[in-house]
Structure formats: C-alpha cells, structure tokens
Homo-oligomer: A and B are copies of this chain.
Amino acid sequence: MNEQTSRSPLWFREPIGTGLEILYRCHRLVYSGRSRYQEIAIVDSQVHGRMLFLDGICQSSENDEFIYHEMLVHPTLFSHPAPRSVLVIGGATGASLREIFRHPGIERVVMVDIDGELIEICKRHVPQWHQGNYDDPRLELLVVDGRKYLETSSEIFDCVILDLSDPFESGPALLLFTREFYDLVRAHLGPRGTVAVQAQGISPEEVALHARIANTIGRLFPVVRPYPYTMHCFHRPDAHVMASMDPGWSLEAMIRRVEKTPLPLRYFSLEMARGMFNLPPYLHQAYETFTEILTDDLFFQ
C-alpha cells in the first residue's frame, strides 16, 4: 500500500464571481474555521502547494506568493530614498513583513490587521510565509481596524503597504479602497513617502475596478504607477499600484537604489525594475475610461 503516491480524492472549490469556478485537488485540510471577521481555510493543494483562502477566495499560495509579495513591497521601498519606518495594513500571512525586513535600513514596522485570530492561524500554519519575522523586535503588531488606526494615530511613516483582501460587499476590506481611506493614508506619510496597493485583476473584461482604484489614488498623490504581475494561484493577471508623495519621484532614481542594494530575490530585480512600469495600450485606455472615483458613499449607497 502506498498512501503517499496516491492522488488525493478531495477538491477545494473556489467560485469566482458568478461565471467561473476553480477546483484544486488537495491532499490535506490544514485548517478550516470562522474567525470573527471571515471564513478561513488553509489546504495543501497538488498544484499550488499550501494555499490560504479567506471567505472562499485565494489569498496566496506557497508556490508563488513570492511574486505577489516581492512585487508589492520592493518597488515601494526602493521608491523611497531611505525607508526606515513602514506601516503595513493587512498582511496577516507575514510575507510582507519578511520582504520589508530584507531592507537593511528598516528601524520600525507597525503592522495593523483587524483579525487577530487569522494572524495566530497564519503564524502556526503558514510558517513558509512569515519565516519567523513576526518575532522581529522592530515590529509592533496591532490588532485593530486599519482605518480606525489611521484615524487615531499621529505617527508618520516612510512607506505604507496596503496588503489587503478584495473589497467585496460584507468583507472586512471594503472601506480600505476609497478616497477617504487613501486620504487618511496620505496623512501618515512623510514628504517623500510611498505607498503600495494591491490593486485587483486587470484582465480586459474586468479591468474597471483596477482602473478606478488607480484613478482614485491619482487624485491624492502626485505620482501613481500601476504595474502588472501574475500569480498562477490567482488565475488571472493582476496589478499593484505604487504611489509617491514626492512629485520628483523618478524611475531612474529607484533603479539606482536597486542597483546599489541588490537583494537576493526570485521575482523582483534590477532587470525587472527597468521594464515593470511599461503598460499595454488597453490598460492606458482603461484609465481613461473608468474615471469614477471610489468613495465611502459609493459603497454604502
């Protein structure tokens, strides 16, 4: 009897919107439960390795989370001349922490996530993601709503990383994608501060939300640069957005910093930095088409 080599007969089902469903063959249900804020599932899948799902939607996979997290953190940290303090909102897996602490100048990181149960579950069940970075003494971890934190704190940061789940109805991240929220973020950034935003899918038939996120940020920051990436476990092309408070931000300056402090990464590199902001015409077109700003009112009307 060979229990190991036999294929598991169990599948995880991920409905995506109303027209798509993805099934993943899984050999282990690592965790399944409901926290105060969301349904949490962690499985070991055949194709993507360990996967984390929140409210049924894939957040990350062991095999390619490095693409998402390297692309979220490094362009924004390298866009700041000398980042020492970073605020992370969301990011319970700890992988954004891992990438932030690769930068040698970091002195202080504040991480704010509303879901303390999720953080504990990630600490225990996805150590591949955080790799012990939750224990870094430079980290202050706060279990509180990100928006509430911004409203009550007066701390100023060099960089802010918005490592959030999708802004869907009834999800905890809905009001972390609006002009009012980005305004609060801006108030916590120094004069050359930068921010990274997980900014949704960009496939041609569903590019509107991404374009509106980019345009909403564009109303508040002098420099806004979206850039594409693809993770297999998201099963679509996505984009992050980097925004800077510094009107003098330049790609050349960012590239020089990458050149000066090369990091041993698997996805982001000097070579990648040089081409990462080059966008196809259909995306430029989308930014001109979907100009309606996302506001708190809009989501609650």
Q: Do the beta carbons of B21 and A22 come within 8 Å of each other?
A: yes
Q: For residue A53, which residues in chain B have a CB less than 8 angstroms away from its CB?
A: 9
Within 8 A of B (CB), among A53-97: 53, 56, 63-64, 66-67
Q: Which of A26-34, A102-110, A149-157 faces chain B?
A: A26-34
- Summarize A's interface: helix, strand, loop or mixed: mixed
**Which residues of chain B are near A23, meaning CB under 8 Å?**
11, 13, 20-23
Cα distance A46–B17 in the bound complex, in angstroms:
10
Contact A20–B20 (Cβ < 8 Å): no
The answer to whether A25 has its CB under 8 Å from any CB of chain B is: yes
Query: How far apart sit A26 and B10, CA to CA, in the bound complex (Å)?
Result: 8
Q: Is A6 part of the binding interface, using a Cβ–Cβ cutoff of 8 Å?
A: yes
| Residue A43 interfacial (CB < 8 Å) | yes
**Chain B residues closer than 8 Å to A278, beta-carbon distance:** 271-272, 274-276
- Do A6 and B32 touch (CB < 8 A)? yes
| Pair A9/B203 contact, Cβ less than 8 Å | no
Q: How far is the CA of A271 from the CA of B227 in the complex (A)?
A: 13
A: which residues have CB within 8 A of B?
A: 1-3, 5-13, 17-29, 31-35, 39, 41, 43, 45-49, 53, 56, 63-64, 66-67, 117, 121, 201, 203-206, 228, 230-232, 235-237, 265-269, 271-272, 274-282, 285
8 pairs of A and B residues whose beta carbons are closest in the complex: A275-B275, A19-B46, A203-B232, A275-B278, A3-B33, A230-B237, A235-B235, A19-B47
